[in-house]
Amino acid sequence: MKFFLDTANLDELKRGAAWGILDGVTTNPTLIAREGRPIEEQIRLICDIVDGDISAEVMALDAAAMVKEGRVLAAIHKNVVVKCPLTRDGIEATSILSKEGIRVNVTLCFSPAQALLAAKAGAHYISPFVGRLDDVGSDGMDLVRTIVAIYQNYGFGTQVLAASLRSPTHVVESALAGADVATMPLKVMEMLFEHPLTDKGLDQFLKDWAKVFNPAPKSR
């Protein structure tokens, strides 16, 4: 399973990259806008930090303009994956870009039917939004499981990129479901490390070692 960070923040990406477990990055217009730089510039800076797939989203709404924008984004770096929304125009643009050899991540997927359309259009990734479905009372992880099953039935090459993950449980359930990628905020990646017994065990090891090899000076 690949781990992506869902952020455009360079400090967060440097921290995640240092652990050596980072396979790529997803961004969206909200995340890019938060950093205040033009998208081309921000994506270029991200490509300098992370050697893996970097999703950059088009802002246009009609297919022709999405294709134009997608070509510009793809030309930034060989690792850029163009993100298109799951609309009629987005699927049309995905078909065109994919035929040109430009990889597309189809985003804002909330149903298995939508995921089928993305696969048929030749998308490289499909991004089901788990947390946002949970937010409206649906079972987001069920969507990931269903898409994985459907894609396996037909051998679609589109990779399932579980997105809008909000907790370590989401990440583990995505892995159990067979998602190819989990993208998460740095906060969630940090949480994957945590276990109180790890901290407790390490503390005890250090104390036991110090008792023998570095005892506290005896008072007179």
Which residues are marked as active site?
Answer: 83
Choose between 13 and 163: whose C-beta lies nearer to ligand G3P. Answer: 163
| Structure-block tokens of residue 73 | 């984004």
Q: Which of 42, 95, 159, 164 binds ligand G3P (CB under 6 A)?
A: 164
CA trace torsion 119, 131, 163, 46 (10° rounding): 150
| Bridge partners, 159 (sequence order) | 125
Report DSSP letters for 123-182, one per residue: -SEEEEBHHHHHHTTS-HHHHHHHHHHHHHHHT--PEEEEBS--SHHHHHHHHHHT-SEE
| Structure-block tokens of residue 43 | 């994506």
Q: Which of 53, 104, 183, 188 binds ligand G3P (CB under 6 A)?
A: 183
Smallest distance from ligand G3P to CB 58, Å: 15
Span from 61-69, 110-118, 158-166, 195-203 in contact with ligand G3P (CB under 6 A):
158-166
Q: Does residue 6 interact with ligand G3P by CB under 6 A?
A: yes
Span from 84-92, 143-151, 160-168, 209-217 in contact with ligand G3P (CB under 6 A):
160-168
DSSP letter (8 states) at residue 122: T
* Subset of residues 26 to 65 that bind ligand G3P, contact rule: CB under 6 A: 26, 28
Enumerate residues 6+ apart whose C-beta is below 8 A from 54.
24, 25, 27, 43, 46, 47, 77, 79, 80, 81
Smallest distance from ligand G3P to CB 179, Å: 13
Q: Which of 52, 131, 168, 178 binds ligand G3P (CB under 6 A)?
A: 131
| Structure-block tokens of residue 96 | 């065109």
Span from 59-67, 71-79, 128-136, 192-200 in contact with ligand G3P (CB under 6 A):
128-136
Q: Residues interacting with ligand G3P, by CB under 6 A?
A: 6, 26, 28, 129, 131-132, 163-164, 166, 183
